[in-house]
């Protein structure tokens, strides 16, 4: 069993603050992903959990036991890196079994574990090959296998799919999720790819500038982003943002942006009062923007792009471009007039002074 808890973890390199102050608890057997843009401190956070980097402050606990003083090999963790180095002169089977041989596990047991792990990763037929006889995806599987062959309380993965092409990344995402279910162990995963974070995780911690911006389930992060950064980073194509003003008008709650008026839902009352008299930022995801013949704000089609099952339609609305994701087929002729209807129940409001979500 391994619950991993970080309390006020901090890391400075010289004068550079890589991780400012991170507190979070990864439950036993949970798949938690640290996601954020390059340089936000996610790799450094993972390296402090596994013991490859000393903390400048704070503490890491495994099942309530502080581990800051323990070197990496004394912590109950296995790590998979982006740049996996396989032993070039050893076969796949020998690469897989290496850690167990070091632990002096009996030969027959190593052979059985190698077969088991190879089967779970679909590399049974490759066991006698050398790394140079493998494709990139096969090598990545061997690297994963080498880590998961050891029984560890927590598996720490730093961008393990980033060297793979898009198609392989997609299939490996599903396999990693299966592997997590099969192993039933704690996984802490680092990526800058929000799709990986969304598809695999039980919970996601979104990081920026050495701080966790929000830590919640993928559904929660997507539906209720805590601030403008999370709202803009998570979701593809990204959320639309419009800067305008909110006001009460009789019994109605309105957002106005130039000639565009959007009626807000009843439960937006407190948010409207909070932002009244200053700028407000309205956020709406492309799938919550509907295109109709009439009844909404008048716009003009700027461009329409077929995504497959959906069409991404960019509409000029006043001076802004708003994206709508509508089911295909959609006749999106350039410059055609269109009426933009925003689903009021799906609207987000942010306070631009600090980025905080108020609705
Ligand atoms: P990436 O996705 O690019 O790997 P990241 O979110 O994982 O980014 P970190 O690698 O944790 O970010 O780095 C966080 C910050 O700390 C960056 O500004 C980086 O330049 C700095 N940093 C990381 N390692 C060191 C180091 N050994 N010495 C000095 N600065 C470092």
Domain match, 180 and 41 both = yes
Predicted pLDDT at 83: 67
Mean pLDDT, residues 314-340 taken together = 95
From 9, 11, 16, the mutation candidate for ligand 1 (largest count of ligand atoms within 8 A of CB) is 16
Residue 13 Cβ contacting ligand 1 at under 6 Å: yes
Residue 15 Cβ contacting ligand 1 at under 6 Å: no
Residue 316's CB is within 10 A of a number of other CB atoms, namely 16
Residue 264 Cβ contacting ligand 1 at under 6 Å: no
Domain match, 194 and 255 both = no
- Would you call 208 helix, strand, or coil by DSSP? strand
Does this model's pTM top 0.90? My answer is yes
When divided into structural domains, the chain yields a total of 2
Domain match, 222 and 245 both = no
Range(s) of the domain holding residue 256: 240-350
What is the distance between the alpha carbons of residues 57 and 8, in angstroms, rounded to a whole number? 7
Instruction: Region of 358 please: left (phi>0), alpha (psi -120 to 50) or beta.
Output: alpha
Place of tokens 């995801």: 285
Taking only the tens place, the pLDDT of each residue in 121-147 is: 889 999 999 999 998 888 888 998 998
Task: Quote the ipTM score.
Answer: 0.95
Taking only the tens place, the pLDDT of each residue in 234-254 is: 999 999 999 999 999 999 999
Residue at a domain's end among 186, 215, 233: 233
Nearest CA to ligand 1 atom 5: 39
Domain match, 151 and 55 both = yes
Share of the chain above pLDDT 90, in %: 80
CATH of the domain at 327: 2.40.50.140
Domain match, 144 and 248 both = no
Domain match, 43 and 190 both = yes
Taking only the tens place, the pLDDT of each residue in 59-80 is: 999 999 999 999 998 999 998 8
- Residue 349 pLDDT more than 90? yes
Domain match, 106 and 121 both = yes
Cβ-based neighbours of 270, under 8 Å, separated by 6 or more: 358
Domain match, 126 and 225 both = yes
Rounded mean pLDDT of the chain?
94
CA dihedral 165, 168, 170, 172 (to 10 degrees): -130
Q: Which atom of ligand 1 is nearest to the CA of 41?
A: 11
- Domain membership of residue 355 (yes or no) is no
Residue 36 Cβ contacting ligand 1 at under 6 Å: yes
Residue at a domain's end among 192, 208, 233: 233
Residue at a domain's end among 184, 212, 233: 233
Residue 210 Cβ contacting ligand 1 at under 6 Å: no
What is the distance between the alpha carbons of residues 57 and 110, in angstroms, rounded to a whole number? 40
- Residue 166 pLDDT more than 80? yes
Domain match, 322 and 211 both = no
């Amino acid at each position: 069993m391994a619950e991993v808890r970080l309390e006020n973890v901090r890391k400075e390199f010289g004068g550079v603050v890589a991780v400012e102050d991170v507190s979070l608890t990864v439950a036993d057997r949970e798949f938690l992903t640290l996601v954020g843009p390059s340089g936000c401190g996610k790799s450094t956070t993972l390296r402090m959990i596994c013991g490859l980097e000393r903390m400048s402050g704070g503490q890491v606990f495994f099942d309530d036991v502080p581990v800051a003083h323990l070197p990496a090999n004394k912590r109950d963790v296995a790590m998979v890196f982006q740049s996996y180095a396989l032993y070039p002169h050893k076969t796949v089977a020998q690469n897989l079994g290496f850690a167990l041989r070091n632990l002096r596990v009996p030969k027959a047991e190593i052979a059985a574990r190698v077969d088991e792990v190879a089967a779970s990763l679909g590399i049974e037929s490759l066991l006698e090959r050398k790394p140079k006889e493998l494709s990139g995806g096969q090598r990545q599987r061997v690297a994963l296998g080498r880590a998961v062959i050891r029984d560890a309380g927590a598996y720490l993965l730093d961008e393990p799919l980033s060297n793979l092409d898009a198609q392989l990344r997609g299939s490996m995402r599903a396999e990693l999720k299966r592997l997590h279910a099969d192993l039933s162990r704690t996984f802490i995963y680092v990526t800058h790819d929000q799709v990986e974070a969304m598809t695999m995780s039980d919970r996601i911690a979104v990081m920026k500038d050495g701080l966790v911006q929000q830590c919640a389930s993928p559904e929660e992060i997507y539906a209720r982003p805590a601030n403008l950064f999370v709202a803009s980073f998570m979701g593809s194509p990204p959320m639309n943002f419009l800067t305008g003003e909110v006001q009460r008008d009789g019994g109605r709650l309105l957002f106005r942006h130039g000639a565009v008026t959007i009626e807000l839902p009843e439960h937006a009352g407190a948010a409207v009062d909070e932002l009244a008299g200053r700028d407000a930022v309205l956020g709406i995801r492309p799938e919550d923007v509907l295109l109709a013949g009439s009844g909404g704000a008048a716009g003009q089609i700027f461009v329409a792009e077929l995504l497959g099952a959906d069409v991404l339609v960019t509409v000029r609305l006043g001076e802004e471009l708003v994206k709508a994701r509508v089911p295909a087929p959609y006749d999106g002729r350039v410059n055609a007039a269109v009426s933009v209807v925003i689903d009021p129940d799906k609207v987000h409001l942010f306070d631009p002074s600090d980025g905080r979500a108020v609705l």
